[in-house]
Each structure stands twice: as C-alpha cells, then as structure tokens.
C-alpha cells in the first residue's frame, strides 16, 4: 500500500542539505516516490500519515553494533577492553545458544527501532548467526551483519574455531542471507580483531570479500594496550597491518580507530575506509577519545555506532550523537563537531558503513523509505529556534521523542508503539536468557 | 494525608548505602516516618501507592542551575564561555521581564521534576528573581536560589547594577523568601563570577552570608581564558582569590572548578567548599574536563548540575550522571567514577550544595520525603543484574523512566504526569516568550 506522510519538516540530508517545511513524502513500493510540498495523489490504496509539526529525517544507521551482547547489558562494568572481553564478554558469548541469541537480537532491534534507527552493521558471536538474521527478517530491520571470526590459537575454547570452519560458516551464512528480503539483509565478513585472528584468515577474508563483493567489518586500534600487543605480535601498527593485508578500502568498516598514527590517518583517507566512532563505548572501556574531528577534516569517512550494550549501556543514536557533538569540543573548540556534521555521521556516514549510500542515509526520490519521525515539542527540547532544527536534534532530543519509524516503507513503530516486536515479551525473554547465561558463567 | 509507598526497591543512600528489597516508605507530615519491610499502619487518612518492581531513590539535586536561561535553549551553540555570555546569554537575560522569567522558571521546574529532580541551587539573572521563587512556590519544587549580582564596571548596561542596589535587592529577596514554605524556599547570594563583581561586593557578600547564615553560590575557574583574565585583573588564581575574600567554606558552592591549581585543590578540601561538576556544560562550551575523580579522592565535596539549558541543552540528571560516569574513565581508568560515586554526587552531594544534608539527599527516617520512583524495566535498561541496581541507574536509565516524584511528601509527578504544572501550557508560554526575546535581541 502507498503511504503519504503529510506536512512534516523534512530534514532531507540530500547534497544541498535541504530542510523542507510543511512538506510531504510519498512512499511507493518501499521507496520514496516523491518528496515536496502539496503532493497530490489519487488511488484507493493510499494511506495517509499526518506528521504536522514533526521532524522527518533519514533513519539512523549504527555503523558498529553487537546484537549478541545486548543480553549482557549492565553486567560488565569497570573493565578495560582486553579484561572486559576475557573476563566477561567471551564467557558470556560462549554461553549463548540459538534461543538466547534470538532473544538478544530481538531486544537489540526493539531498542534500535524505538530510538529511531533503521539499519545497522552488526558483528555476531562465533556461532548461531542465522538467528540474528531471522530476528531482523521478522521485525523488518535493515541488517548488514556477520558471524565473528576467531581462529587464533589463544581464543578461549568456547569460541575458538579453525580457520577453515570459520571461513566455511561465514560463506554458508553469506549464501543463505546476503541480498535476501529485497536486499534488506546483507552479509559482511566479521574477523573480530587482529588478536583473535590468524593472518591466514585475515588474508582469505580480504580476498573473499573482494571476490564476493561484500563488506568487511572489524575492530581496529581501540585500546592502547591492544595496540601494543598487536605491534608486538605482527610487527606493525594495527591499521597499517590491515592495509597491508588488504583489509582497508571503501568496503571496509573499522570500528573505533581511537589511536591511529599519523601514517594510518593517511591510509584511512587514501583507501576510503569507513571508520565507526563509538564515543560511549570508548569512554566506558576507558579506551580514549578518537580523533574524529581531525579524521573528518582529513577527509576520512566516519560514522557513529553504539557498539555493544555492555560497554555503553544504551543502543541509542541520540545518546551517541549528543556525546559525539560534545566530547571533542574541549580539544577542538566549541564550533568543532557542529550538529550538521554529527547528523551526517549518524545517517549518510552509516549508509557508507553499510555500503548502502545509494539506497539509504538521506531522504531523496528513489531511495528506500527508511524514515524516522521525531517530535521536538517536548519540554526537554523547548524552546528551539524555528530556523534551526539540527541543534535540538543533536543537543537536546532524546529517543523518547521518536514517534514513527519506517523501514523499506513499512511502519515498524507507530505512535511510539513497536509494530513488529512485542516489547513486553522481548524484555521478559531477554531477562530469562540473560539470567540463565549469567548463572551458567557464574556472574 | 499520610502516604505509604509499598513494595519498592529502596536505594536509601544512608550511611551504610543500604538497598532494601520489597520495602515500604511511610510519609507523614512531609517527612519519612518509617522505612522498611511490611510497614503496617492504621488510620483513615492513609493513601497507598504501590511501587512494586520499581526503584525508590532520593530525588536528584542539581547543585548548579540557571532557570532564567531555559528559554534560551538551542539558541547559543558554538561559543566559548566569555563570548557565549557577551554575545548571547547576557543580551538574552537583559531581555527578560517578569513574565518571561516566570515562563522560563516554570519550564525549568517542569523539566526537572519530569527527570526526577526535587531540588536545585539556582542562579538568577539580575532582576525579577521573585518570579523564580513564585514558580517554585507554586509547583512545589525545593529551591535554593538568588539573583545574580553584577556590579563590575564592564557589565553591559542591561544588567549592570550598583554595588548598593545589588546588595539591597539581594537582602530584600532574602527577607521575603528565605526559609519560607516550610523551609522549601531558601536564599543564596549569587555573585555571578569574579569578572562581573567588584571586590567590594564580594567582600560584603562574604560578610553578609556569614551574618545571615545563608549560602553563597558562584562560578569559579570554568574556562582557561576566564582564568587568565581573572589572574590579570586580581593578581591571583580564581579560587585562591575567593578564599582570601572569605568566599570559601561549607556554605559556599562553586560551579565548575575545571582548572583548579594544586594549591586550590587543597583550599577546596580544607575549607570544605562544595564544588559543582557540570560535565555537559563544560564540554559544550569547550571549557574542559574538571578533575572530579581527583577532587573526590582528595576529599573535596562534589555535586552534579546541569547548569543552563543553552549550554547543555538538557536539564536532566540522568544525562549528567551518565556523562560524569563515562567522561573521566579514559583518564582515570574504567573503575574511576563508579555508579555509587556518581549517584552520591547527584543526591547527597547536591544536598550539601544546598546546605540541606540533614534534610534531604538520602531516604532515612526523619528526613524530608523528596523521592523519585524509577522504572528500570524498559527495553533500554533490560536486562540488568538483579544484584546491582546502581549500574542501570547511572549507565542505562533515562529520564523517561521516572514514574513518580514527591517533594516534601507531596506528589508532583504521578504516573509520569506533572501534577503541579501543565506541560502543554508551560511549553507554549515558553515558546512565545523565547520568540519575543530572541526577536527583540535580533537572534
């Protein structure tokens, strides 16, 4: 059925960054058919959604996420990256079965949709990644994801896999899911990070990704100790090492990049690799503050992501946008990271992280109708300057302001109510499975 | 009427930091009469509020706030402190009349109550401070506040006042409001900051505060340029200068203290001066990151505050708590600023900032019933470790989770609805007055 959003304030994020007042969006076959003032249409099959006074913007896109970890929210405080992984996250992940992973994914997509996100680049745990795709398939979320690849000899038993098994399972998932559901579900190879992968695996992933035309999603230079250990193990810096192995390029998304060297900044720019800034996670794990304004100034593509619930502890683009806008200002000045730059990271940047910049990330005719409708009239955003909708969106809005969300033109949140997931049963199932895994791992 | 909260998870913040499961709170005459399991009471005049499964905690207390600036939210981005004041905030403040200030105060208290705050230490603009007290009087908020004092020769015309007039108006407000409404409204002298005050005024404020037994509330060492100008003007560092003039002590709250010298840290500790950490504001104005874990380790009392809406842009203790918990970790490690420390700042610390530690800040028998009830079962806080309620409160909860708020035992928010303010008319009035002031000042 066609859908017409009427009389909204449309933040297009098109090339001219137009903001259209009192404008309509006509959605046909999951795409934006027309966009502008006074769109008149005929036909019996038209549904109208009045969005008078509300802000209509491209759905947020998280460029780095771990849906499998959402069950471990609020259970992994006070640790730096490597301890956090070894003491909590890996044992928890090893405790997942298909059912618990499904519960974790359902909770993830429910929270993401409620906070205005329509797409994400996700890294799974080693096993059961089908269930994450199944969850996204069923709730209508736009997912690019892949199982974590962990074949290094010191990966703990519960997660360790052979190089061959890791590649075979990744390829099988790719075959089953990549490009399905109208292209809404896509595969991305996810070698976890240098320290969990053999060089053989990384090289083979680099080759296969090019051959199959899919993305690579991994972590780089998140934590200083990690950077030291990487340097010790492979004899060079993390991003430089990836570059040498073929793990850079516009089809690669590197999460974090908190500690890139001067040379690596150039590599990121020249190779057009996408960097995902995760400010909340980088603070919580005491990793540091990524030089994001500097990377952007150098011409690097940067997007935003919440990372995992246990290192955040929200999965909320409003929280990350606000933090990204504020965090760098003491270093680069009050005009550093203005709202327009931050919103670009959360929309167009995310689209690039998923390799979907031709399809989503802005509201333009022909693009897929991934749309978030926000009400900026609540007390905490009042008043605002009617000439500037971006400032309240980034500095004062909260996820509670998200009213409607559409993905592929389908309403998945309407009047703040999830339509494709039942919030109460999602929460209850998440609690049960989390409790079970925690008691199994004695946490 | 007596009120009984039943079956909650009570975060007492008492000396032992007890958390009581399935416990009740009996409120009589605005105070906590009893607190514990299975409280049985008789009498016709008892109202019962079932808070099963919810978290009951002391209402949040902002240690530094500018209710007069809430109308200027989202209208002062991209500026450092001194430019922000001169180019935006002072012209805006000078544009206030009594009606617009009332609108600003109503909006402030509405947002504060909705986000679980029950008290604040507020600094007004130079004029019309009666209306801020009137607003707090009418909505039931616990306010300690005072008019801004600005008698230095380079204060702009619209705000400048003589030393005598500043003192006289402050004293008149003190007479009219201090200790009224059962002690809920209290006066605090508010010399704005070194650069807006003559030394004569500061000395007189120091003397009068001791004589009258009221607090002093001012800003110190917020911005490096400001610190330089202060040093140039008065020949010493900001906090050291205040100390010399008698503007330190347990009855003094200094906002910010982002740049205290080693010597000044000792002065703050030894004089038992209260420091208010405003992490959101300090980032937005590019002021820096206050050395809060270090101050706390040194024994300084530190509380939390949202500062003003135009430099935040929320007035939301959940936002500040999360930020305070995360922001310092890259510097001091992942165990720096744990949830218990942050929650203490937001409750007991705030009580000290208002000089009300005997009355509020924790849930204990005999203390005033300033209580916030939070529902941690929503998706963005799910799951959580049932043994640890503080982690979700600080890291994942949001102000949307606040269900009920009581001040002096009176419900001011019930089932998320404001009872003493009408949200829609508060917002509409705020918009009108903000538009008027902005157009008057050509912003």
Q: What is the 3-state secondary structure (H, E, C) of chain A?
A: CEEEEEEEEEECCCCCCCEEEEEEEEEECCEEEEEECCCCCCCCCEEEEECCCCEEEECEEEEEECHHHHHHCCCCCCCCHHHHHHHHHHHHHHCCCHHHHHHHHHHHHHHHHHCCEEEEEEECCCCCHHHHHHHHHHHCCEEEEECEECCCCCCCCCCCCCHHHHHHHHHHHHHHHCCECCCCEEEEEEECCHHHCCHHHHHHHHHHHHHHCCEEEEEECCCHHHHHHHHHHHCCCHHHHHHHHCCCCCCEEEEECCCCCHHHHHHHHHHCCEEEECHHHHHHCCCCCCCHHHHHHCCCEEEECCECHHHCCCCCHHHHHHHHHHHCHHHHCCCCCCHHHHHHHHHHHHHHHCCCCCCCCCCCCCCECCEEEECCCCHHHCCCCCCCCHHHHHHHCCHHHEEEEEECCEEEEECCEECCCCHHHHHHHHHHHHHHHHHHCCC
User: What pLDDT, in 10s, does the model give residues A77-99?
Assistant: 999 999 999 999 999 999 999 99
Q: Please, which residues 327-346 of chain B have a Cβ atom closer than 8 Å to chain A?
A: 327, 329-330, 332-336, 338-339
For B351, residues 6+ apart whose C-beta sits below 8 A from its C-beta are B61, B119, B357, B359, B360, B361, B362
Which residue spans within B305-366 are E strands per DSSP?
A: none
Contacts B401 to A, Cβ<8 Å = none
Nearest to residue B127, comparing CAs of B177, B196, B173, B184? Answer: B173
**Cβ-count burial B205-238 (b if 16+ within 10 Å, e if not):** bbebbeeeebbbbbbbbbbbebbeebeeebebbb
List the single residue in B with minimal CA-CA distance to A332. B286
List the single residue in B with minimal CA-CA distance to A284. B326
B82 touches chain A (CB under 8 A): no
Q: Distance between CA atoms of A280 and A305, rounded to whole angstroms?
A: 9
B381 touches chain A (CB under 8 A): yes
DSSP state of B335: T
Q: Which of A284, A400, A423 sits opposite B326 (nearest CB)?
A: A284
Q: Distance between CA atoms of B337 and B352, rounded to whole angstroms?
A: 19
CB contact under 8 A, A329 and B283: yes
Q: Please, which residues 124-183 of chain A have a Cβ atom closer than 8 Å to chain B?
A: none
Sign of the torsion angle spanned by Cα atoms A360, A365, A368, A373: positive
Closest-CA distance of chain A to residue B202, Å: 30
Per-residue confidence at B44, pLDDT binned at 50, 70, 90?
confident
User: What pLDDT, in 10s, does the model give residues A334-367?
Assistant: 999 999 999 999 999 999 999 999 999 999 999 9
Residue B109 confidence (pLDDT) = 99
Average pLDDT over residues A403-423: 98
DSSP state of B251: T
In the predicted model, is pLDDT for residue A42 greater than 80?
no
A53 touches chain B (CB under 8 A): no
CA angle A318, A324, A328 (to 5 degrees): 155
- Indicate the average pLDDT of chain B: 97
DSSP state of B357: T
CB contact under 8 A, A381 and B329: no
Contacts A288 to B, Cβ<8 Å = 330
Q: How many Cα atoms within 13 Å fall on the side-chain side of residue A311?
A: 32
Judge contact between A84 and A69, C-beta under 8 A.
no
The secondary structure element, H or E, covering residue B137 is helix B129-139
Backbone φ and ψ for A332, nearest 5 degrees, come out as -115, 5
Closest-CA distance of chain A to residue B396, Å: 5
In the predicted model, is pLDDT for residue A142 greater than 70?
yes
CB contact under 8 A, B74 and A392: yes
Q: Please, which residues 84-113 of chain A have a Cβ atom closer than 8 Å to chain B?
A: 84, 107, 110-111
Superfamily of domain A2-58+362-418: Urease, subunit C, domain 1 (2.30.40.10)
Q: Select from 2.30.40.10, 3.40.50.1000, 1.10.10.10, 3.20.20.120 the CATH code of B2-58+361-418.
A: 2.30.40.10
User: What pLDDT, in 10s, does the model give residues B87-141?
Assistant: 999 999 999 999 999 999 999 999 999 999 999 999 999 999 999 999 999 999 9
In the predicted model, is pLDDT for residue A443 greater than 70?
no
Nearest to residue B126, comparing CAs of B196, B78, B174, B45? Answer: B196
CB contact under 8 A, A384 and B312: no
Superfamily of domain B60-353: Metal-dependent hydrolases (3.20.20.140)
User: What pLDDT, in 10s, does the model give residues A52-74?
Assistant: 999 999 999 999 999 999 999 99
For chain B, percent helix, then strand, then coil, each to nearest 5?
40, 25, 35
For B8, residues 6+ apart whose C-beta sits below 8 A from its C-beta are B22, B23, B24, B25, B51, B52, B54, B55, B56, B373
Residue A31 confidence (pLDDT) = 98
Residue B443 confidence (pLDDT) = 66
Average pLDDT over residues A24-52: 92
Q: Please, which residues 227-286 of chain B have a Cβ atom closer than 8 Å to chain A?
A: 280, 282-286
In the predicted model, is pLDDT for residue B9 greater than 80?
yes
Average pLDDT over residues A23-45: 91
A68-353: what CATH class?
alpha beta
Polymer length of chain B: 443
For B357, residues 6+ apart whose C-beta sits below 8 A from its C-beta are B348, B351
Average pLDDT over residues A157-162: 96
Residues of chain B above pLDDT 70, percent: 100
In the predicted model, is pLDDT for residue B417 greater than 70?
yes
Average pLDDT over residues A420-440: 96
Average pLDDT over residues A387-413: 97
Give domain limits for chain B: 2-58+361-418, 60-353
Q: Structure tokens of B11?
A: 């975060």
For B434, residues 6+ apart whose C-beta sits below 8 A from its C-beta are A383, B71, B72, B73, B75, B100, B103
Per-residue confidence at B288, pLDDT binned at 50, 70, 90?
very high
CB contact under 8 A, B115 and A380: yes
Contacts A435 to B, Cβ<8 Å = 383, 386
User: What pLDDT, in 10s, does the model give residues A175-219?
Assistant: 999 999 999 999 999 999 999 999 999 999 999 999 999 999 999
In the predicted model, is pLDDT for residue B425 greater than 90?
yes
Closest-CA distance of chain A to residue B352, Å: 26
Q: Distance between CA atoms of B443 and B432, rounded to whole angstroms?
A: 14
A314 touches chain B (CB under 8 A): yes
CB contact under 8 A, B288 and A330: yes
Q: Structure tokens of A354?
A: 């998923």
CB contact under 8 A, B74 and A378: no
Q: How many CB atoms neighbour CB B155 within 10 A? A: 20
Contacts A75 to B, Cβ<8 Å = 383-385
Closest-CA distance of chain A to residue B229, Å: 19
User: What pLDDT, in 10s, does the model give residues B218-252?
Assistant: 999 999 999 999 999 999 999 999 999 999 999 99
Same fold? A2-58+362-418, A68-353: no
Q: Distance between CA atoms of A239 and A267, rounded to whole angstroms?
A: 8
B398 touches chain A (CB under 8 A): yes
Q: How many CB atoms neighbour CB A28 within 10 A? A: 18
Closest-CA distance of chain B to residue A205, Å: 33
- Give the rounded distance of the alpha carbon of B283 from its chain centre: 18
Residues of chain B above pLDDT 90, percent: 96
User: What pLDDT, in 10s, does the model give residues A251-279?
Assistant: 999 999 999 999 999 999 999 999 999 99
Nearest to residue B130, comparing CAs of B81, B94, B170? Answer: B170
Q: Distance between CA atoms of A101 and B32, rounded to whole angstroms?
A: 45
Q: Distance between CA atoms of A73 and A103, rounded to whole angstroms?
A: 13
């Amino acid at each position: 059925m066609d859908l017409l959003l009427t009389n909204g304030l449309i933040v297009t994020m098109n090339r001219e960054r137009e903001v259209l007042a009192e404008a309509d969006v006509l959605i046909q076959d999951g795409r934006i058919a027309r966009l502008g003032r006074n769109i008149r249409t005929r036909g019996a099959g038209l549904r109208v959604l009045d969005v008078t006074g509300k802000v209509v913007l491209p759905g947020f896109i998280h460029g780095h996420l771990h849906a499998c970890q959402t069950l471990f929210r609020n259970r992994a405080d006070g640790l730096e990256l490597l301890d956090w992984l070894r003491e909590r996250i890996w044992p928890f992940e090893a405790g997942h079965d298909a059912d618990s992973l499904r519960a974790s994914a359902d909770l993830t997509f429910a929270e993401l949709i409620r906070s205005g996100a329509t797409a994400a680049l996700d890294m799974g745990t080693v096993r059961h990644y089908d269930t994450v795709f199944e969850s996204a398939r069923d709730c209508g979320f736009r997912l690019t994801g892949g199982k974590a690849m962990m074949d290094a000899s010191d990966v703990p038993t519960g997660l360790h896999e052979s190089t061959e098994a890791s590649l075979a399972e990744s390829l099988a998932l790719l075959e089953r899911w990549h490009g399905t559901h109208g292209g809404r579900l896509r595969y991305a190879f996810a070698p976890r990070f240098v320290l969990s992968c053999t060089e053989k695996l990384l090289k083979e992933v680099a080759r296969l990704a090019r051959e199959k035309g899919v993305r690579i999603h991994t972590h780089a230079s998140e934590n200083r100790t990690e950077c030291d250990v990487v340097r010790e193990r492979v004899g060079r810096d993390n991003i430089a090492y990836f570059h040498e192995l073929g793990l850079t390029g516009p089809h690669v998304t590197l999460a974090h990049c908190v500690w890139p060297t001067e040379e690596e900044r150039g590599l990121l720019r020249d190779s057009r690799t996408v960097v995902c800034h995760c400010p909340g996670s980088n603070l919580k794990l005491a990793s540091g503050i990524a030089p994001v304004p500097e990377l952007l100034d150098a011409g690097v593509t940067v997007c935003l992501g919440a990372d995992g619930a246990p290192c955040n502890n929200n999965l909320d683009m409003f929280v990350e946008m606000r933090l990204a806008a504020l965090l760098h200002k003491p270093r680069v000045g009050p005009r550093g990271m203005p709202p327009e730059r931050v919103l670009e990271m959360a929309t167009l940047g995310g689209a690039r992280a998923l390799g979907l910049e031709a399809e989503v990330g802005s509201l333009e005719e022909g693009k897929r109708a991934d749309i978030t409708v926000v009400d900026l009239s609540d007390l905490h955003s009042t008043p605002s300057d009617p000439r500037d909708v971006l400032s309240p969106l980034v500095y004062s809005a909260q996820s509670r302001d998200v009213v409607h969300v559409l993905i592929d033109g389908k309403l998945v949140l309407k009047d703040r109510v999830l339509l494709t997931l039942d919030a109460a049963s999602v929460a209850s199932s998440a609690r049960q499975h989390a409790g079970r895994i925690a008691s199994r791992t004695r946490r």
